[in-house]
Amino acid sequence: MRWLVAGEPFQDTFSKRAQADAFRSQLLTAARKGEGFSAYNGLPKSLVAKAATVNWYEFAIKYADRKWDSSAATTRRTTAKILARTTIALLPRQPTKVDPDMLRRALISFAFNKLKREQASSSVEQILRSVKRLSPTMAVWEAPDRIDGILAKIYTRLDGKPVAHSHKRLITRHLKLIFNYATECGVLSGNPIPKEKGRVKPKPVDKRSLVNRVVAGKLLDEVRDYRPNGETLHGYLATMYFAGLRPEEVSALVVGDVILPAEDADDQWGELVLHRAAPLAGRGWTNSGDPYDERQLKGRDEGDTRVVPCHPDLTTILREHVRGKKPGQLVFTGVKGGRVSPTVIGRAWDQARKAVLSAAEYASLLGKRPYDLRHTCLTTWLNNGAPPARVAYWAGNSVPVLLMTYVHCVEGEFEQLKARLESAQGALRAS
């Protein structure tokens, strides 16, 4: 079906002729009634969703508020950042006399933060009024020729470089959720994000980031000397290395979750019973005002648990950290008695890498982040014969995600395959 609006051609495709005829009749009926036709998609007002009557900025605020109560604090913060990024990309121009950083802060910290919106200063309110005035309607998302240009801006960093691939996947996933909501509300007639750009696949771990046990030992020993709480940081990072826990799971670990054998037992393997996580979100994003959002395990329902084996070496380390503490107390605490700060952990880890690694190694991906200790642990389990299903359970992942994430790092089976492959393929010799 092809038609013209103000001299511009539009077209749509139908699987059956009857459907095309019915659509043609709707266009003709609308034209006879004198309805206005959209210059974006060529459709009459009666066939267009509410897009042309809904301001993007107002819709974005409504979406942020709608998702607030059901979202984790870290998700609230991420949603606000993506809504701010998208809003700025849609503005035809920068608000007058407004610094770009100030604009971002106003959008993230107030416009899309349900808890802080009423606390905005007069200057911030003025910025947000300008944003509302400059924001286009949702009809901009029904213009196929403009979608790619808008997405290109959204996927670009402040310095003009493209965002990392993993960040792009995160943005795309949230945009799809936003537009699914717009479709459900009848604001848009469909999700404008192309399907091929919305595929979400876990990013494989780079093998170069893994640390062997010799280097890991040296790094952890160096962390122990960090002042003033090196012993705590050593235990925290050792738990990631030996048990593969996520940082937010280590932060939520209490004494009652650590089940250790008697010191004189022959078998020194213990267990860690995980049931809570405490990711750092910031005081402005949690209902309690605490910077850490204590909640259920990632991807699990409230009350679900996960039991992870505790390596004998980790048993020895944790025994010292739980000694004298009560069951409900945190295993690892900061200098002031609260949770250990990720900033402090990162600083101690960076200092250890500088002290232990050569200049070339320090500049490389080798153990670049503390999280690489978790990657090293899971890879070690897989490479030494632990069944993927069991490792996935210990890691808190699904089996497909686990295998796709560590596909480049699993080598345990290759040694067994070498002889068979060498024999099967053989050497090419001239006859």
Q: What is the pLDDT of residue 38?
A: 76
Q: What is the pTM assigned to this prediction?
A: 0.79
Residue scoring higher pLDDT (84 or 145): 84
Asked whether residue 91 carries a pLDDT value surpassing 70, the answer given is yes
Residue scoring higher pLDDT (429 or 229): 229
Q: What is the pLDDT of residue 198?
A: 45
CATH topology of domain 211-363: hpI Integrase; Chain A (1.10.443)
Mean per-residue pLDDT for 401-409? 90
The proportion of the chain whose per-residue pLDDT surpasses 70, expressed as a percent, equals 95
Q: What is the pLDDT of residue 387?
A: 93
Residue 415 binned pLDDT confidence (cut-offs 50, 70, 90)? low
Residue scoring higher pLDDT (53 or 135): 135
Enumerate helices (H) and strands (E) in the chain, giving the number of each: 17, 5
- How does pLDDT run across 322-350, given as a tens digit for each residue? 999 999 999 999 999 999 999 999 999 99
Residue 75 binned pLDDT confidence (cut-offs 50, 70, 90)? very high
Mean per-residue pLDDT for 358-381? 97
- Measured in Å, how far apart are the chain's first and last C-alpha atoms? 64
CA distance 257 to 300: 17
Mean per-residue pLDDT for 282-309? 93
Q: What is the pLDDT of residue 431?
A: 46
By CB atoms closer than 10 A (0-12, 13-18, 19+), residue 321 is: buried
Residue 427 binned pLDDT confidence (cut-offs 50, 70, 90)? low
The runs of H, that is alpha helices, within 107-212 are: 122-134, 144-154, 165-184
Residue scoring higher pLDDT (333 or 198): 333
Catalogue the long-range contacts made by 9-16 (C-beta closer than 8 Å, 24 or more residues apart): 10/41, 10/42
How do the domains of the chain map onto residue ranges?
2-46, 53-197, 211-363
Pair 61, 111: CB distance under 8 Å: yes
What mean pLDDT, rounded, does the chain reach? Answer: 91
By CB atoms closer than 10 A (0-12, 13-18, 19+), residue 159 is: exposed
Query: 263: how many CB neighbours lie within 10 A of its CB?
Result: 9
Asked whether residue 31 carries a pLDDT value surpassing 50, the answer given is yes
